[in-house]
Structure 1
Amino acid sequence: MGNDDTTLNQLQSEVDDWIQNIGVRYFSELTNLAILMEEVGELSRLMARKYGDQSFKSGESEDNIPNEIGDILFVLTCLANQMGISLQDAIRATIKKNTKRDIDRHKNNPKL
């Protein structure tokens, strides 16, 4: 990616360019969903070892956590591209929804 100020729209364009020029074509949406779940599982495995009760296996490292998050973002971006969804619009809508729903919820939660 070009610089640290890349927008989500630019990210989607860059991933699409990569798919068209290197990846040949998008996998089907269902295949990409399965790949996304696989990548989330890989992140989960590392998180369980770093923050949970499991220990790292020989050759495993918490250093791979950023790579797994990158893999998740890449596949999620592929899915958004395939379905014509703007990640930027989607996250803005989610923040708006969560703000309306949770404006006082967390402030009033004695567990927090």
Structure 2
Amino acid sequence: MSDRDQHVTYDVQKMQTRVDRFIRQFEEGYFSPEVMMLRFTEELGELAREVNHMYGPKKKKASEAANTVEDELGDIFFVLLSFANSLDIDAAKAFDQAMTKIETRDKNRFTKKKE
């Protein structure tokens, strides 16, 4: 089994702590909110490119790196957690607030599966 096949389970606070430990070892520290937004947008574009390569009409050139959707989602997690850390936002709390809003607002929006 390769390292990539081994699954590690994290809670969001542990993920934020790991990101923080990594970033705090450098003098530069966290980027400004503007730069974080640019990094997030850049990573989102890379994810879009991978989705297009895998599921859309635009296939990869032989010379292009073998990134995957999973790789790009991981990069987005890193930037998202960095962004949250830089603004002192608890990502788990933000997620919980968003899910509560969505579960309330959209509870009857879609056709429920029959059990």
Alignment of 1:5-24 (within 5 A): 5-22=9-26, 24=28
Q: State the one-letter code of the partner of 1:98.
A: I
Moved more, 34-43 or 52-61: 52-61
Q: Percent identity between the aligned chains? A: 30
RMSD: 1.9
1:48 aligns with 2:49: no
Which runs of no fewer than 5 residues in structure 2 stay unpaired? Answer: 1-6
- For residue 67 of structure 1, report the CA deviation from its aligned partner: 1.5
1:38 aligns with 2:45: no
Can you list the C-alpha shifts for 1:13-67, whole angstroms capped at 9, x where unaligned?
Answer: 1100000115741111111110110111011011111111111112336642221
Distance 1:42 1:105, change over 3 A: same
- Normalising by structure 2, report the TM-score: 0.82
Q: Return the alpha-carbon distance in structure 2 between the equivalents of residues 38 and 67 of structure 1.
A: 14
Between Structure 1 and Structure 2, which shows a larger proportion of helix residues?
Answer: 1
- Normalising by structure 1, report the TM-score: 0.84
Which runs of no fewer than 5 residues in structure 1 stay unpaired? Answer: none
Q: Return the alpha-carbon distance in structure 2 between the equivalents of residues 61 and 105 of structure 1.
A: 40
Q: Match of 1:94?
A: 98
Aligned residues: 106
